[in-house]
């Protein structure tokens, strides 16, 4: 008997070795075996599959996938003050892979769990920043590391009121210790260039805000003045 397969794991899940077996959307891919490597909290699998190459020949391949569920993130912005509200928290994977202190500036984000994307990001934004979001804009969806991680991230943007103090901080019971940082939008773009902002989802939302989002016209005006 194996936890996560035929007996519940710590999160009550079984059948974790069945993921992907029934897929039929790509006739050039045939799933042969799914091995459960770990389900301590998220799920690590090793999948063996046959793949038909462009020239017609088939090869037997293996890939590990890390399944942590899908997530959502939101850029909080204020047009009047030309600021964005980001979070700062410690990220161990970044720290052990070269980031000076592991303290990353990020847009508020979290996993969907059992919620739909909009409900999830409203929950996460409130937990991390203290703000209850009003109107919210869906921006796009993206697979953040499709070579190994299954997560699909849902991107949103929403205005916030800087006159109201941020009172989040995360959930202490889950080990979260989150600061909020209000940054001038132009400075935030500069921080991408210097590496002071190095989180992918945050970079994507800031660049969207400049190119096609709430700060687009301000950026056009600046370019016209140069």
Please enumerate, by residue number, every residue annotated as part of a binding site for Mg(2+).
109, 124, 128, 176
- Which residue, 74, 80, 173, is CA-closest to 132? 74
Count CB atoms within 10 A of the CB of residue 96: 9
Measured in whole angstroms, the distance separating CA 208 from the mean position of its chain's CA atoms is 15
- Which residue, 12, 6, 9, 59, is CA-closest to 38? 9
- Asked if residues 77 and 209 have their Cβ atoms less than 8 Å apart, the reply is yes
- Asked if residues 18 and 44 have their Cβ atoms less than 8 Å apart, the reply is no
Residues marked as binding? Answer: 109, 124, 128, 176
Angle at 104 between CA 117 and CA 218, to 5 degrees: 70
22-57 exposure pattern, b = at least 16 Cβ within 10 A, e = fewer:
eeeeeeeeeeeebebeebeeebbbebebeeeeeeee
- Asked if residues 65 and 148 have their Cβ atoms less than 8 Å apart, the reply is yes
52: β partners: 58
């Amino acid at each position: 008997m194996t936890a996560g397969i035929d007996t519940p794991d710590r999160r009550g899940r079984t059948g974790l070795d069945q993921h992907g077996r029934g897929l039929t959307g790509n006739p050039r891919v045939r799933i042969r075996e799914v091995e459960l490597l770990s389900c301590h909290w998220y799920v690590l699998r090793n999948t063996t599959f046959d793949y038909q190459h462009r020239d017609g020949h088939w090869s037997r391949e293996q890939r590990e996938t890390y399944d942590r569920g899908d997530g959502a993130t939101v850029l909080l912005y204020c047009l009047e003050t030309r600021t964005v509200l980001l979070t700062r928290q410690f990220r161990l994977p970044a720290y052990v892979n070269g980031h000076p202190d592991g303290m990353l500036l990020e847009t508020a984000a979290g996993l969907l769990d059992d919620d739909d994307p909009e409900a999830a990001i409203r929950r996460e934004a409130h937990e991390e920043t203290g703000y209850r979001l009003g109107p919210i804009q869906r921006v796009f969806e993206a697979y953040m590391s499709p070579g190994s991680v299954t997560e699909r991230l849902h991107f949103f943007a929403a205005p916030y009121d800087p006159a109201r103090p941020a009172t989040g901080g995360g959930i202490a019971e889950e080990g979260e210790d989150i600061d909020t940082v209000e940054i001038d939008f132009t400075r935030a773009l500069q921080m991408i260039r210097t590496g002071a902002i190095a989180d992918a989802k945050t970079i994507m939302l800031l660049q969207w805000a400049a190119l096609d989002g709430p700060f687009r016209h301000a950026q056009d005006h600046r370019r016209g003045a140069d």
